[in-house]
Chain A
């Protein structure tokens, strides 16, 4: 991705606290249904997978289809259980992966 995604995750949380995560990626989410000015079909290119992991284990994920708006925005909750580096990844149709890591300290 040309522009890095935004991730809002608190830096600290109390054990057991439910924290809301907001993620915003920068992507055209080309549906494959559109045509260019010459009438040629523009090939589909979307972000199709999103995941949030901690220590390799998936906490939350999403499978996206072309009906997800450009610049995909996904919000969800996680239960603060362990401190660590939370890894957010987006994978497009071509297998290109964009990763953002953010630390959250749980006390």
Chain B
């Protein structure tokens, strides 16, 4: 009887080691680390919080998006150009004179920026547009206008599945994806925890009073009940890092953009929800 128990434990241990090994695999054929069960944070939320997101008249982040929609048409900067001058209406399927529609953008971001040879997320892309094309001063990262504008652009991809092929070594984002993966599995902070300890190993479990989610990024920017405001993915990542008593990186830092690139890949197939509502 005793021997049997020991064997069982050994088998379980062996199996979990094999699983762990599988999870670390990173070829383009590699299954998603969650297998088939990729879950949006929405599915972990209470019915009350879900209801807030389901109706845009009840989503408290939406007034910021309305303001951004007004800014979309307003000329700005020395170039006196508006977003609409280049891209047309924000929901224009053709994407205005430059032919770059906003629909689908957030589902495939971060994208590779040839100029810096680095990935660029939606926020950084908007800021770049402001400085280079409008010749204006860019909004500050995590400022209300930038969060609102990110929300407006993200909204155009609602319902579309997240795409990423950054695990492919030929993908230009691969190096960033790799760095992001390393970050994800790296223990850090006084609590010595990696992202994976909560969001891969224990998603669905409760830590004190907190139900852990997979830590997916498909809902950002998100209105957080705790913040009582809408915020970026990087603001959330900073909060996560503080929570495990690690020094947070700056919003917009290479570290977080790399992690964002990797998180997008982990969440591929998930339907885009931004601006969402979370606890």
Contacts and interface: CB of A to CB of B under 8 A. Distances in A.
B117 interface: no
Contact of A24 (B63, B148, B228): B63
Contact of B64 (A3, A28, A69): A3
B57 A4 contact: no
Nearest to A75: B58
A64 B63 CA distance: 20
B242 to A, nearest CB: 15
B57 A3 contact: no
A52 to B, nearest CB: 15
A contacts with B: majority SS: loop
B62 A24 contact: yes
A29 B148 CA distance: 19
A26 interface: yes
Contacts of B63: 3-6, 24-26, 71
B228 A6 contact: no
Contacts of A3: 63-64, 66-67, 148
A22 B57 CA distance: 7
B143 to A, nearest CB: 12
B64 A24 contact: no
Interface string A7-44: 01000000000000010111011000000000000000
Interface in B51-91: 55-60, 62-64, 66-67
B67 A24 contact: no
- Interface range, B side: 10 to 19
Contact of B57 (A24, A28, A69, A70): A24
A2 interface: yes
Given A3-B63, A4-B63, A5-B63, A24 B229 contact: no
- Interface range, A side: 10 to 19
Given A69-B228, A70-B229, A71-B228, A6 B67 contact: no
Nearest to B61: A71
A73 interface: yes
A6 B229 contact: no
B269 to A, nearest CB: 32
A5 B56 CA distance: 12
A71 B67 contact: no
Interface of A: 2-6, 8, 22, 24-26, 28-29, 69-71, 73
Interface of B: 55-60, 62-64, 66-67, 144, 148, 228-229
11 contacts: A3-B64, A3-B148, A6-B66, A22-B57, A24-B63, A28-B229, A29-B228, A69-B228, A71-B60, A71-B229, A73-B58
Given A2-B144, A4-B66, A29-B228, 19 more contacts: A2-B67, A3-B63, A3-B66, A3-B67, A3-B148, A4-B63, A4-B67, A8-B57, A22-B58, A24-B58, A24-B62, A24-B63, A26-B63, A26-B64, A28-B228, A69-B60, A69-B228, A71-B60, A73-B60
